[in-house]
Structure 1
Amino acid sequence: MSANSEGSTKAIFYALGANGGIALAKFGAAIFTASGAMLAEAIHSTADCINQVFLLVGLKEAKRAPDASHPMGYGRVVYFWAMMVALLLFFLGGAFSVLEGVERLKHPEPLKNPMVALVVLGISVALEAFSLYGAMLEIRKIAGGKSFFRWFRETRQSELMVVAGEDIAALAGLAVAFVAVVLSVVTGNPVWDAIGSIVVGILLMAVAFFVIREVKAMITGESAAPEVNEAIRKHIESHPHVDHVINLITLQWGEQLMIAVQAKMQRQGSDQALIAAINEVEESIQAEWPQAKWCFFEPDVDNTTD
């Protein structure tokens, strides 16, 4: 297991453990308090648990060996499961919360035992913060000093991106639910609880939208991260057998990487010497980037420099 995969798995288990406990507590509180915002949060936490199971399934399936039907392996299957998670977050988490809130607006019910809801929400905040802390620890190890927003836009680790997005949405949702319950208690108006459920749903759908957009780009086919692309180019051009790179294409394949290089080579004494030089360059690339499982090298003439 690679370091990146191990880090993602740790973050997923942090989230699964936290959300499992949170979901049980929220369902109990929703029954005791008749809170729509609390029920929406309970459904959200349940959806998160299912999501984390999906991500674990994706990571396991991605490790299947290549076969005749999938000669480049199954690495990109993690993107499919990440998309499933985002859709589940949108519909089961977000849309359900909005519908529940609308129903509560039509048929408002006073809260019962609101202190139970507030205590559960407080505990949930602590557990969710623990999950987010675990995810952020793993992100810092690979972010290379990038801001979280930049890492989110540029990362090719869909599973870790999804976990972080879920945790942030969950913490924001808990804050909204807490405020909604407090306002319902202070004002004696259960409409605030219904509004809280709707706001939580809109928040979850917004986060799901951003996750879907990023995962869509991965499924379509994205290059390696910009800094990796640039490092590969510099590495190739620093090789004594290479004059310069004409074109470089990288394609992220789950955890693995495909590299296609078109380069002008230094003059070699024979065809055999040219082949040996190309093999040497490819070996040096794969030694520097072990995730580069496929490396295709084409020597060519750059007419633009002649």
Structure 2
Amino acid sequence: MPVVAESDVAADGAGSESVTTVVVAVVTNLAIAAAKAVAGIVSGSSAMLSEAAHSVADTVTEVLLLASLRRSARPADEAHPLGYGPERYIWALLASIATFAGGAVFAVYDGIHTLVHGEDPRDPVFSYAVLAVAFVLEGYSLLVAWRQVTGEAARMRAPLGLYVKHTPDTAVKAVLLENAAALAGLVLAAGGLLGAQLTGSGVYDGVASLLIGALLVAVAWELGRSNAGYLIGRPLPAAMRAEVREELLSVPHVEGVLELTTLVQGPDEVLIAAKVDFHDLASARQVEAACEDAEAQLRERWPAVRRVYLDPTPTPPPASAAEPSLPPGAVQG
């Protein structure tokens, strides 16, 4: 029977910060989507209409992310003893589909339509003004997400690049990537408008729409891949698993870690289970104390660790010792 050390203390700070980040993005994108749509109709720019679709898709995405944050925050109960943390990845996966269907498909279609049928560029001054305001607002939303990501990376004691790649907080990752893509999309839309203004040809606008669509496909793919991975079940990164093993080995009376399993259940929910070899002369009380010390050390170093399960398991004897060889010439009967 495994010895269990468990803590159900919730890390509400990071969760509320995620909600704030997503709310800022929702309000920003809703206002920007309306302005881009008006600008696209006034200027006749397919790139501006693609950007409007982009912002609408981002808004829908972030509403789904808000639902994921709320539903995954429910406490554990008898029906779900490990909590509802993984539910956020279902909603976040739907959000990535919304980004693809609502933004990328429209942008690619509008770009192809413009290249095939052409367009009649009109005065782009209003569109330039909208793009400038949108750039400022999207930049602020990106800054909010960036500050949270850097703070969480520091709290997890992980390199920033590694954290962004493997972060279990896919809601913040979605806001970060979508806002970065939004800024790139604004630059592309401005380039399409400028090309159409200087040449009188809608080709530049159509190409800009296609590039915006490709950008959204890349974002949707990355977010879908990340959320699918956590739905299936993803461990801590290899470097962090090695550090967990070292931390366990530093606990008094622990001789070896025979097997280590880690499971990320949410941004602030990591489960650690291990088969641990304790000193043969350690008493039951010392083993229990070692389990408590292990939990305390792990949670102090990684606050996201919520559950620690340690199974006292003796190291199996070497094969040569378990099955002694027969003397030369002897026959096993």
Is the shorter-chain TM-score for this pair beyond 0.5, marking a shared fold? Answer: yes
Shift of the alpha carbon at 1:226? 4.1
Amino acid at match of 2:134: S
Query: For residue 186 of structure 1, what is the aligned residue in structure 2?
Result: 198
Shift of the alpha carbon at 1:109? 2.0
Would the alpha carbon gap of residues 122 and 276 (structure 1) be closer, same or farther in structure 2, given more than 3 Å must change? closer
CA RMSD of the aligned region, Å? 2.2
- 1:141-189: per-residue Cα shift (whole Å, max 9, x none)? 1224866543322222111111111011111111111000100010001
Find the structure with the greater CA-based Rg: 2
SS in 2 for 1:251: strand
Shift of the alpha carbon at 1:19? 1.1
Shift of the alpha carbon at 1:17? 2.4
Alignment of 1:67-216 (within 5 A): 67-144=77-154, 149-216=161-228
- 1:122-141: per-residue Cα shift (whole Å, max 9, x none)? 11111111111111111111
Residue 24 of structure 1 is aligned with which of 29, 34, 44? 34
Amino acid at match of 1:64: R
Shift of the alpha carbon at 1:236? 1.4
Shift of the alpha carbon at 1:276? 4.8
SS in 2 for 1:247: strand
Shift of the alpha carbon at 1:301? 1.7
Would the alpha carbon gap of residues 78 and 304 (structure 1) be closer, same or farther in structure 2, given more than 3 Å must change? farther
Query: For residue 19 of structure 2, what is the aligned residue in structure 1?
Result: 9
Residue 266 of structure 1 is aligned with which of 263, 267, 279? 279
Would the alpha carbon gap of residues 150 and 281 (structure 1) be closer, same or farther in structure 2, given more than 3 Å must change? closer
Residue 40 of structure 1 is aligned with which of 50, 55, 67? 50
Q: Could you tell me the TM-score, scaled by structure 2's length?
A: 0.85
Within 2, Cα distance between the matches of 1:147 and 1:232?
16
Amino acid at match of 1:43: A
Would the alpha carbon gap of residues 197 and 304 (structure 1) be closer, same or farther in structure 2, given more than 3 Å must change? farther
* Gaps in structure 2 of 5+ consecutive residues: 1-10, 322-333
Within 1, Cα distance between the matches of 2:159 and 2:198?
39
Contact 2:181 2:216 in 1 (8 A): yes
Amino acid at match of 2:119: E
Contact 1:15 1:163 in 2 (8 A): yes
Amino acid at match of 1:220: I
Give the number of the structure with larger relative contact order, counting CA–CA contacts within 8 Å between residues 6 or more apart.
Answer: 2
Would the alpha carbon gap of residues 45 and 304 (structure 1) be closer, same or farther in structure 2, given more than 3 Å must change? farther
Within 2, Cα distance between the matches of 1:139 and 1:110?
43
Residue 293 of structure 1 is aligned with which of 297, 306, 312? 306
SS in 1 for 2:261: strand
- 1:204-250: per-residue Cα shift (whole Å, max 9, x none)? 10121122222222111111244543332222111112112112111
Confirm or deny that 1:238 pairs with 2:250.
Answer: yes
Query: For residue 6 of structure 2, what is the aligned residue in structure 1?
Result: none
Contact 1:268 1:274 in 2 (8 A): no
Within 1, Cα distance between the matches of 2:82 and 2:158?
30
Q: Aligned residues: percent identity?
A: 30
* Gaps in structure 1 of 5+ consecutive residues: none
Within 2, Cα distance between the matches of 1:172 and 1:290?
35
Alignment of 1:45-56 (within 5 A): 45-56=55-66
